[in-house]
């Protein structure tokens, strides 16, 4: 899964990386680029190169310690895991490396099998952490695509539901980004709790970013999930407004031209795509159609979900209550 399958190795210029690292990298189809100067490695990482960093201990050299400390203090580079390869088991050096932010330290105390196991665990942790959205701890776009692909390859019938908040930007402008973040987190929790509560491991919930979410259900599970989600949403979201705005059901906001207009309370639009009447070969096809359905749902009043029931290129048609947006 590592997108940039390159190891940046910072070590001595007069000898190659350890054999154990070379063999482990080869087994994982990772290329090793060796550099003698920490500044070279740091420059490459800052430019987005490298999936993993390995640093030869060299007695906890100050320039290498400083490089690790700087990389781990920058949110852009901190996600790249750093492993220290130590020639001896020096407790003081180990403490210094961990204080600088190192993710793993391999010493002669560990037999080769354990060192390889530790490296495998490091990669697994890294892939898991990168794949999770930091604000909601839900799977991100990579895991969403993987889950859709998994169901396509399994040949099962499923529904992909794209949920998006309406009037969220105006809410942020009216209140604050802190209140907006609270709404996003609240939405993530009841999406997860409803879908997983109803469907268990057959349900999947992911966070694309911002106020956009994807949840995936078996074909038979989307209607009940969407209905309960919308009911919970319409009960809880008004409580995020002041009593005055909640009682009125709206507040006054300014449009792009500075003109005052009524802004309704937030609603939730869900576009649903299934493979009941269609054959998909790639997750991108599902994503494109789910985006189309979500956009259509946003043109309807209130909190709604709409379902694509086309067998071919048919026109949109609003069904009862705006709940069924496609012809049978």
Decide if 226 contacts 307 (C-beta within 8 A): no
Structural domain containing residue 25: 6-131
Q: pLDDT-derived band of residue 119, with 50, 70 and 90 as boundaries? A: very high
> Does a structural domain hold residue 16?
yes
Domain count for the chain: 2
Residues 310 and 210 grouped into a single domain: yes
What's the confidence (pLDDT) of residue 90?
87
What's the confidence (pLDDT) of residue 325?
45
Q: Which two tokens stand for residue 24?
A: 């482990």
Q: pLDDT-derived band of residue 326, with 50, 70 and 90 as boundaries? A: very low
What's the confidence (pLDDT) of residue 203?
95
> Does a structural domain hold residue 328?
no
Q: Is the pLDDT of residue 82 over 70?
A: yes
- What percent of the chain lies above the pLDDT cut of 90? 72
Per-residue burial over 245-255, b = 16 or more CB atoms within 10 Å of its CB, e = otherwise: beeeeebebee
- Per-residue pLDDT tens digits for 50-62: 889 999 987 768 8
Q: Is the pLDDT of residue 189 over 60?
A: yes
Residues 92 and 161 grouped into a single domain: no
Residues 265 and 162 grouped into a single domain: yes
> Does a structural domain hold residue 74?
yes
**CATH code for position 242:** 3.30.70.270
Q: Is the pLDDT of residue 195 over 80?
A: yes
Dist CA 316 CA 312 (whole Å): 12
> Does a structural domain hold residue 1?
no
Residues 92 and 204 grouped into a single domain: no
Averaged pLDDT for residues 142-155: 94
131, 155, 174 — which closes off a domain?
131
Decide if 149 contacts 208 (C-beta within 8 A): no
- Per-residue pLDDT tens digits for 22-56: 999 999 999 999 999 999 999 999 888 888 999 99
Residue 284 CB-density burial (10 A; 0-12 exposed, 13-18 middle, 19+ buried): exposed
Averaged pLDDT for residues 94-98: 94
Going 198 to 201 to 203 to 204, the CA torsion angle's sign is positive
Averaged pLDDT for residues 307-313: 76
Q: Is the pLDDT of residue 248 over 60?
A: yes
What's the confidence (pLDDT) of residue 1?
54
Dist CA 118 CA 282 (whole Å): 35
Q: Is the pLDDT of residue 165 over 50?
A: yes
> Does a structural domain hold residue 327?
no
80, 100, 131 — which closes off a domain?
131
**CATH code for position 33:** 3.40.50.2300
Residues 102 and 201 grouped into a single domain: no
Averaged pLDDT for residues 216-238: 96
Averaged pLDDT for residues 60-71: 90
Tell me what the pLDDT averaged over the chain comes to.
89
Residues 76 and 186 grouped into a single domain: no
Which of 14-18, 123-127, 255-259, 270-274 holds the top average pLDDT?
270-274
Q: Supply φ then ψ for residue 58, to 5 degrees.
A: 50, 45
Cα separation of the two ends of the chain: 39
- 109 or 134, which is more confident? 109
What's the confidence (pLDDT) of residue 48?
85
97, 131, 165 — which closes off a domain?
131
- 1 or 297, which is more confident? 297
Residues 225 and 261 grouped into a single domain: yes
Residues 106 and 162 grouped into a single domain: no
Residues 188 and 98 grouped into a single domain: no
Q: Coil, strand or helix: which one is 134?
A: coil
Q: Coil, strand or helix: which one is 222?
A: helix
> Does a structural domain hold residue 236?
yes
pTM score: 0.72
Averaged pLDDT for residues 290-308: 95
Q: Is the pLDDT of residue 284 over 50?
A: yes
Residues 194 and 62 grouped into a single domain: no
> Does a structural domain hold residue 29?
yes
Residues 46 and 23 grouped into a single domain: yes
What's the confidence (pLDDT) of residue 2?
57
Residues 272 and 194 grouped into a single domain: yes
Decide if 31 contacts 77 (C-beta within 8 A): no
Q: pLDDT-derived band of residue 312, with 50, 70 and 90 as boundaries? A: low
- 250 or 217, which is more confident? 217
What's the confidence (pLDDT) of residue 158?
97
What's the confidence (pLDDT) of residue 317?
36
């Amino acid at each position: 899964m590592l997108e940039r399958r390159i190891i940046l190795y910072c070590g001595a210029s007069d000898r190659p990386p350890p054999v154990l690292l070379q063999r482990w990298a080869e087994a994982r189809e990772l290329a090793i680029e060796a550099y003698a100067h920490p500044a070279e490695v740091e420059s490459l990482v800052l430019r987005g190169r490298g999936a993993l960093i390995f640093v030869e201990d060299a007695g906890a050299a100050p320039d290498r310690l400083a490089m690790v400390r700087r990389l781990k203090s920058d949110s852009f580079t901190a996600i790249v895991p750093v492993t220290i390869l130590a020639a001896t088991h020096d407790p003081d050096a180990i403490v210094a490396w961990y204080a600088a932010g190192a993710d793993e330290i391999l010493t002669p105390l560990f037999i080769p099998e354990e060192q390889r196991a530790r490296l495998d665990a490091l990669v697994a942790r890294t892939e898991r952490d990168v794949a999770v959205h930091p604000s909601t701890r839900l799977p991100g776009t990579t895991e969403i695509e993987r889950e859709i692909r998994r169901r396509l390859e399994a040949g099962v019938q499923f529904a992909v539901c794209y949920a998006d908040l309406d009037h969220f930007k105006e809410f942020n402008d009216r209140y604050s980004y802190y209140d907006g973040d609270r709404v996003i987190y609240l939405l993530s929790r009841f999406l997860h709790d409803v879908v997983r509560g109803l469907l268990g491991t057959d349900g999947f919930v992911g966070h694309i970013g911002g106020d956009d979410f994807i949840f995936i259900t078996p074909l038979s599970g989307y209607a009940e999930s969407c209905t309960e989600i919308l009911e919970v949403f319409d009960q809880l979201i008004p409580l995020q407004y002041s009593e005055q705005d909640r009682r009125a059901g709206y507040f006054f906001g300014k449009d792009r031209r500075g003109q005052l207009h009524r802004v309704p309370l937030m609603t939730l639009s869900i576009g649903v795509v299934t493979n009941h009447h269609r054959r998909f070969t790639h997750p991108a096809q599902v994503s494109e159609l789910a985006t189309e359905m979500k956009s259509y749902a946003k043109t309807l009043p209130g909190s709604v979900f709409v379902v694509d029931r086309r067998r071919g290129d048919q026109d949109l048609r609003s069904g009862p209550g705006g709940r069924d947006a496609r012809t049978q």
